[in-house]
Amino acid sequence: MNARALRRFGAILLIAACAAGPAAAAPAQTPAPRAVFKTAAHDFGTVKQGDVLTCEFVFSNEGGAPLVVEKVETTCGCTAALVSEKTVAPGREGKVKASFDTRGYSGRMSRFIYIVTNEGGNRRHELSLSADIQVPPSARIDIDRYNIDLGIVLEGDTLATRIVIKSTGQRELKVEMAQENVEFFSGGKRLAGPIFLPAGDSREIELRFPPQSRTGSVRDYILLKSNDPVRSTMSIYVSRYVISRKEMKELFEKYRSVLK
């Protein structure tokens, strides 16, 4: 190829290069936050029922933008709270304090905490708490009914109803009953203090109400307090509908033919 042809070929390449323009640069990536937890699970091992267990989960922001903790969610039986700043700068650490109240639980239990952040695809981090909960011998209370409906009651009448309290635990049960307008009897004797039931025993308690002076729907709440560590306070609801003697007479006159 002679010099003239070489110059022409070079000019063509130059024109083609100019037409193509500069090479496209790779798009710059936007810095993003990234939460990394040192551990996502904590096992407390063997504990006693009733213990309140606590621990901290530590995380760091290993991304290039501020990490925002938007929400901390828990399942039943545990609580969690962010104890560091809500916004964690790149390279900094944050902490989540978790607690697990073991009252009412037994055996192997696991509870979960969810941390929601402003990260892209991985916004929800799961943390777990677990423990083997041992139940020591204790008192247990049970009653035969929690709701008592006495139906229609005439104004001025006195009322009485009965409940049965059972000791279903391994230790003696102590029970105190309270309601300002109700008297409690056992075996025909008025109770002046708590009752004590050996394990496996039961007791019938009579509830005596004063003369009914208020008409309409009436409801009383009988409070029971015991040494049961799981159900230390319980309520029994006693309801009735009190009508006046005039209302009773009107009902009788209205339904006289039906009653015959």
Let me know whether 46 and 110 are in one domain.
Answer: yes
Residue 120 lies in a domain: yes
**C-alpha gyration radius of the chain:** 37
Last residue of a domain, one of 74, 100, 134: 134
Let me know whether 150 and 57 are in one domain.
Answer: no
Let me know whether 74 and 92 are in one domain.
Answer: yes
Pairing of β 233-243 and β 147-154? parallel
Let me know whether 152 and 239 are in one domain.
Answer: yes
What is the per-residue DSSP string for 193-207? Answer: S-EEE-TT-EEEEEE
Task: Describe the strand order of the beta sheet including 41-48 as a list of residue ranges.
Answer: 41-48, 124-134, 107-117, 67-74, 87-88
Q: What is the domain count for the chain?
A: 2
Residue 5 lies in a domain: no
The structure tokens 């936050």 sit at 33
Residue 86 lies in a domain: yes
Question: What is the Cα–Cα distance from 214 to 221, expressed in whole angstroms?
Answer: 16
Last residue of a domain, one of 88, 117, 134: 134
Let me know whether 81 and 177 are in one domain.
Answer: no
Tell me, what CATH number does 151's domain have? Answer: 2.60.40.10
Residue 110 lies in a domain: yes
Let me know whether 81 and 152 are in one domain.
Answer: no
Written as tens digits, the pLDDT of the chain (260 aa) is 555 554 564 555 555 555 555 545 555 678 899 999 999 999 999 999 889 999 999 999 999 999 999 999 887 767 888 888 899 999 999 999 999 988 878 899 999 999 999 997 768 999 999 999 998 888 999 999 999 999 999 999 999 999 999 999 999 999 999 888 899 999 999 998 999 999 999 999 999 999 988 889 999 999 999 999 888 999 999 999 999 988 888 888 888 777 76
Task: Describe the strand order of the beta sheet including 78-82 as a list of residue ranges.
Answer: 35-37, 52-61, 93-101, 78-82
Residue 162 lies in a domain: yes
Question: What is the widest separation between alpha-carbon atoms in the chain?
Answer: 135
* Structural domain for 241, as ranges: 141-245
What pTM was estimated for this model as a whole? 0.56
Let me know whether 109 and 163 are in one domain.
Answer: no
Nearest Cα to 117, choosing from 69, 57, 72?
69
Let me know whether 39 and 129 are in one domain.
Answer: yes
Last residue of a domain, one of 84, 105, 134: 134
Residue 97 lies in a domain: yes
Nearest Cα to 146, choosing from 228, 234, 240?
234
Structure tokens at 75: 């399942």
